[in-house]
Structure 1
């Protein structure tokens, strides 16, 4: 395995671990903690997901550079391109809707529950699948 492939593999699994830990462990649990109101939970969630998404963009870029320095298979490129595409859809298409709702809730408005949240979760699942497949393909190449 070349250095570029090794770096891409490591970053892919770090990215996968971050998404799993934050989206499927931290996010739902914070609302179950004693004293955490919807407003506090949303405020924390916005900070955490802003940081996660920033880290994801950096990791995607670093994976791209690492892959450019190696000879990845088409399958690896497709799998990781799907993960990056999903991230872009989340950032450009879904996050603004979630931000508008959380802005309304944080200012005290009684905003209706957003279906965009379910879309975001479905995209997280798709991203997890793409990162898992990409990581496994990198390991096997």
Structure 2
């Protein structure tokens, strides 16, 4: 396995672990903890997801650079090139479209409005599910030697 494949796989699986731990474990559980109100949970969530998003961008850069290095040496490795490009598009959509909408909504909740569950939240969760699949595909593709 090449160094670029190792870096790609490591970035994919570290990122995957972070998404699973935060999006699918921490985020829903914090609202079940005694004493955690919706407002407090939203404030905590903003901090946690801001940190996650910074880490995601750094891991995407690491994966993209390692894939680019492998592409420049051996041609376009589809099993890693397609997922890394799809992850870049998906993360950009989350950061530039979905997160700002969710932040505006949470601003309203923090200001005291009582709002129903949002569609944007469900879209964000769906995007996280897709992201998990793409990260698995990227990591497996890299381990198979394509990256």
TM-score interval, normalised by the smaller of the two chains: over 0.9
Q: TM-score, normalised by structure 2?
A: 0.91
1:67-78 equivalent positions in 2, closer than 5 A: 67-71=67-71, 73-78=77-82
Unaligned runs of 5+ in 1: none
What secondary structure sits across from 1:33 in the alignment? Answer: coil
Q: Counterparts in 2 of 1:97-116, with a 5 A limit?
A: 97-116=101-120
Using structure 1 for the length normalisation, give the TM-score: 0.95
Give the conservation status (yes or no) of the 8 Å contact 1:83–1:126: no
Q: Report deviation, 1:113.
A: 2.6
User: Where does structure 1 differ by over 3 angstroms across 4 or more consecutive aligned residues?
Assistant: none
Aligned residue pair count: 141
Structure 2: gaps spanning 5 or more residues = none
Superposed, 1:1-141 pairs within 5 Å as 1-71=1-71, 73-141=77-145
Q: Which moved more, 1:28-37 or 1:86-95?
A: 86-95
Does structure 1 retain, via aligned residues, the 8 Å contact 2:9–2:139? yes
